[in-house]
Structure 1
């Protein structure tokens, strides 16, 4: 259903022909309407009363900051494409999504596509459970995978479809990970350990922190449900990311000490190491 803009908006950035980021009344909004971004430049106006198919507003200051950082590091066309995917998800579900999806899903897809282009596929044995528990989300994730292949020519395997489905589920208002308080405590303990190991102080409002925390939460879910990822890159990760792998081994000890009757297998340790390495490199770039 179309909505009319209640006030004039100033273009901040046009991601593609259909998605623009605007400022109106001191707030930033994402507008979706076919052709709205065509020929638009920063500073151009979209007048009050213009019909818009969808308006997304990112209210949380930390999320807005992370989204801005994401737009500085990811290609505009790709962000626009991801926003069209998010619009499609919201429309198919018939509900508003958590604003976190604008950061989490876009960031995940950007990283996943880079990995897949480098033939770095992470196996996900959690796929069957995700498909069973979250049928609608999994179906939408398959649609997203098809659209990515059609648009970018990158095949998205079932394992990645499962991850996309989890992001969709987490973005729904009723989609919450279990044991939130307990997992938050464990995650914070691990973050503090990683800070000590890397001799850095991590900005809790940064995109790097939000990204790492998301991967850590998903790892905890897999470990507690005994559904570890099968990682064929273990030996390569051990050799290439020695420091990060050692840190990941100690993170595994923290997880085993704080979660009941769990064993963090080597595949999962390697997966954690990969994300710690990404975190470490990103922080190193910031320091430079």
Structure 2
């Protein structure tokens, strides 16, 4: 792969062996480089090809004239997300984060702030994405000397959620309602208070998050083997009774019943979180 044009230290237009042009981004990929140099493949973070979503001109334009320090921060945000989140990050997140953060920095300098109405839900239900958002605003404060409000950590988390490879951003409010209702059913059934920093609680919330996504998208989990379900029903009978209350709520409010597999997994998580 050879360089065709250097847009800045982090973005180049290159030509692949196939003859096709592409936009390559990566920290330092264009540093001290010129046309016809070989691309240092160890610097490549993402490649945008002409035959994909955007034209070459649009893609290169999106990354041109971006302050280098902000570009580096966005590269690091995506690197953190790729490393810490258990899913692929769609390449569209680079442009969306650059665009959002550029405006956020400008707004903040002018003393204008946008309240993130989903902040509480994001902090509780999408903790890993929010932690990356917090890390990002700390990096911006340290390197760009602009202190963004906590709301922006939530917005960054939303961009990461929206970049998931296999679908659109979830309806966080709807997911939150399902999770909170189930948490309340379990809480009042056993008269317990949750230790929200515990591993078991976080695993329970993660399970409920995926369950809520399946519920709201009418996706079902089933299997033909009922032996494990029956064993869980006997071993964790109290938790299974609580799961039955959850099932009644789901049936009443969402018009569907939990499968045996869903009852089994729910009972196991309830058993662990109530101990």
Scaled to the shorter chain, the TM-score interval is 0.5 to 0.7
- Unaligned ranges ≥5, structure 1: 1-7, 180-288
Deviation at 1:134, TM superposition (A): 1.2
Q: CA RMSD in A?
A: 2.7
Calculate the TM-score normalised by the size of structure 2.
Answer: 0.52
Aligned to 1:220: none
Change (3 A) 1:30 1:145: same
What residue in structure 2 maps to residue 21 of structure 1?
A: 12
The SS at the match of 1:149 is helix
SS across alignment from 2:54: helix
Q: Considering only CA atoms, is the larger Rg found in Structure 1 or Structure 2? A: 2
**Which residues in structure 2 correspond to 1:1-288 (within 5 Å)?**
8-13=1-6, 15-16=8-9, 19-25=10-16, 26-32=20-26, 35-41=28-34, 43-46=35-38, 50-52=40-42, 54-59=44-49, 60-62=52-54, 64-72=56-64, 74-93=66-85, 95-174=87-166, 176-178=168-170
Per the alignment, do residues 46 and 85 of structure 1 end up closer, same or farther by CA in structure 2, a change over 3 Å counting? farther
Q: CA deviation at 1:22?
A: 3.4
Structure 1 distance, partners of 2:44, 2:64, is 23
Higher relative CO (Cα under 8 Å, sequence separation at least 6) belongs to 1
Change (3 A) 1:141 1:93: same
Q: Distance in 1 between matches of 2:62 and 2:25?
A: 17
Between the aligned partners of 1:175 and 1:128, the Cα distance in structure 2 is 23
User: Quick one: distance in 1 between partners of 2:86 and 2:118?
Assistant: 26
In structure 2, the gaps of 5 or more residues are: 172-275
CA contact (8 A) 1:15 1:79 kept: no
After TM superposition, give the deviation of residue 15 of structure 1 in Å: 3.1
8 Å Cα contact 1:67/1:102 also seen in 2: no
Question: What secondary structure, in the 3-state scheme, does the structure 2 residue paired with 1:23 have?
Answer: strand
Number of positions where the alignment pairs a residue of Structure 1 with one of Structure 2: 166
Q: Answer whether contact 1:13 1:22 (CA < 8 A) is retained.
A: yes
Determine helix, strand or coil for the equivalent of 1:58: strand
When the two structures are superposed, what TM-score results if normalisation uses the length of structure 1? 0.50
Q: Aligned partners of 1:63 and 1:90: how far apart in 2?
A: 25
Q: Find the aligned partners of 1:163 and 1:72 in 2 and give their Cα distance.
A: 23
Residue 171 of structure 1, CA deviation: 0.8
Q: Provide Cα deviations, 1:57-116, integer angstroms capped at 9, x if missing partner.
A: 224342654433323453355334423332332233365311211211110000010000
Preserved contact between residue 29 and residue 43 of structure 2 (Cα < 8 Å): no
Aligned to 1:239: none
